[in-house]
Amino acid sequence: MKKFIVFLLTLVISFSAQAQTKTGTIDSEFILSQMPELAKVQEDLKAYNKKLELELKEKLDTYQVKVKAYQEKEATFTDPMKKTKQDEIIKLENEITKFRQNGAQLVQIEENRLLQPLYQKIGKALEEVAKAEKYTQVFTITSSGLAYIDPNYDLTKKVATKLGISLETKN
């Protein structure tokens, strides 16, 4: 029985020695910042932001026109007409408030939608580099909080090169 346990233990140790993992790191945010496609994303995001600002301005202009019209003709309105006009103004106020609150979220959603293809491109290049060089694990530097990283295992430059990006400033 002891021989069997020793044999099993030896077998497990030999398998674990052969199954060494190769770990690397990548700074995908740095690669993203160097991608030429990012300029188009930023331009599109700026245009989207401007569109939202125009929508808000239209809502504010409509609101101001309705308030002014109400104030000018309030004396001629019957009580039910006053109530209807006040409800319209309150509804517009609520729409404007909601639009302002959701604006930042809408911009974030649009930014995520525009950046997704770039992250997918980085991910595909990373996968190709990792498979070619037999990495079993790759950690993202920007969100991992690692205290020490051996630069020999940083795949940022290789992935950027695979994407045709020249990295001058990354150590």
- In the prediction, which pLDDT does 7 show? 46
The pLDDT tens digits for 36-60 are 999 999 999 999 999 999 999 999 9
pTM above threshold 0.85 = no
Sign of the CA dihedral with 123 first, then 126, 132, and 133 last: negative
Cβ atoms within 10 Å of 155's Cβ, excluding its own: 22
Q: Nearest 5 degrees, angle CA 5-CA 9-CA 11? A: 115
- In the prediction, which pLDDT does 4 show? 47
Name the fold adopted by 20-162: Protein Binding, DinI Protein; Chain A (3.30.910)
Comparing CA positions, the residue from 169, 165, 171, 93 lying closest to residue 126 is 165
Where do the domains of the chain lie? 20-162
